[in-house]
Amino acid sequence: MNEDSIQGPLALVSLGDLSATSREAGSAQARVTSALLRCVGRWGLSKTTIEDVAKEAGVSRATVYRLFPGGKNAIMQAAVLGEIRSLLAVLTVELAGVDQVEDCLTVAMHHAAQFLEQHQALSFMRDHESALLDQLLSFEQLDLLFLTAAQVMKPVLLRFMDEAAAITVGMWVARLVVSYVAEPSAEFDLCKEQDSRRLVRMFLLPGISAPPLKRRPG
Domain positions in the chain: 15-207
Class of domain 15-207: mainly alpha
pLDDT of residue 138: 64
- Round to whole Å and give the CA distance between 37 and 28: 15
Q: Which pLDDT belongs to residue 4?
A: 44
Residues whose CB is less than 8 angstroms from the CB of residue 50 and which lie 6 or more positions away in sequence, other chains included: 3, 4, 61, 64, 65, 71, 72
Cα distance between residue 182 and residue 126, in whole Å: 7
Q: If you compute the radius of gyration of the chain from its CA atoms, what whole number of angstroms results? A: 18
DSSP letters for 181-196: HHS--SS--TTSHHHH
The model's pTM: 0.75
- How many alpha carbons fall within 13 Å on the CB side of residue 104? 26
Residues of the chain with pLDDT under 50: 1-16, 18-23, 210-214
